[in-house]
Amino acid sequence: MYTLLILLIMIVIPVPIMMKYMLTGRSAYRGILEGSLSAMTGVTLLFLVFWSMTGATFFEVLNSVLNQVKIEDMNLTGYYMMGMKELSPDKLQLALDNMKEMTKLAVPGVIIVFCMIIAYLNYAVISFIVSKTGRKISTLPPFRTFSLPKNIVMGSLIIYLLSYITAEMGIIDKSLMMFNLQMLFTFVFSIQGLAVVFYFGNAKKIPKFILIIVSGIFILTWLGETFLFFLGLTDVVLDIRKRFSQTNLKV
């Protein structure tokens, strides 16, 4: 129930803000950004209401739920049948503890990422529906043209430095802060990397469904995600798509 409410907030709250940008012909990506921020604000307010009503924070409840998960309650027979090596109870407990800790650390970053993804999909669906009415609106440009601001690398370094200082001062948990920063930076630059993949795929006339399959493989594997991150970072710094297009024009 609580998860469903969070999801509804992520979907519904950004709509009026994105519609304002859409109908006035303003930047679609700016509308998505502000829509994402409104969704994050809505989720934060929900957490505050939950705390005021129950006296417990969302993270305390999550921690309590995770602590109830025991190895004895897990049915691992199916995994062993798939050929996985049977682990000792100590190793199983260590793996479970690591999973619990990672889950708790990842919650803020996952919420932010979901707010951005849902806002993007929201905008794409709504703009498609509204455009069918014949009304002139601000539609999403092709994903292959997506590009982060040039100053994002410097901004990321400043945010990272300030966050590190804040964590060292004990204002916020260091593991929580650094884990989520790493997740968000990886996500943002990986999106830029995906845009580069779609750009060159379009230039080479590779079918879109193949690009989607390849992108899925990149996203779901550690090596592929690392590749997308560095590709996106390189594109931000060197603008490789612009250089490629200029080279083609000269030819």
pLDDT digits (tens, 9 = 90+) for 136-187: 888 889 999 998 887 887 888 887 787 778 777 776 777 878 888 888 899 9
Same domain, 121 and 160: no
Same domain, 184 and 148: yes
Tally of domains within the chain: 2
d(CA 234, CA 240): 8
Between 78-82, 100-104, 156-160, 211-215, the lowest mean confidence (pLDDT) is in 78-82
Look at residue 8 and tell me if it is in a domain. Answer: yes
Same domain, 136 and 30: yes
Does the pLDDT at position 251 exceed 50?
Answer: no
Same domain, 101 and 161: no
Does the pLDDT at position 197 exceed 70?
Answer: yes
Same domain, 124 and 199: no
Same domain, 80 and 133: yes
User: End of a domain among 141, 158, 175?
Assistant: 141
Same domain, 85 and 206: no
Contact status, residue 17 vs residue 31, Cβ threshold 8 Å:
yes
User: End of a domain among 96, 120, 141?
Assistant: 141
Q: What is the DSSP letter of 76?
A: -
What is the torsion angle, in degrees rounded to the nearest 10, for the CA atoms of residue 50, residue 55, residue 59 and residue 64? -120
Same domain, 14 and 97: yes
Same domain, 187 and 236: yes
Q: Helix 89-131 crosses helix 174-203 at what angle (to 10 degrees)?
A: 50
Same domain, 115 and 159: no
d(CA 132, CA 235): 34
Give the domain range for residue 231.
142-244
> Is residue 56 classed as helix, strand or coil in its secondary structure?
coil
Same domain, 110 and 147: no
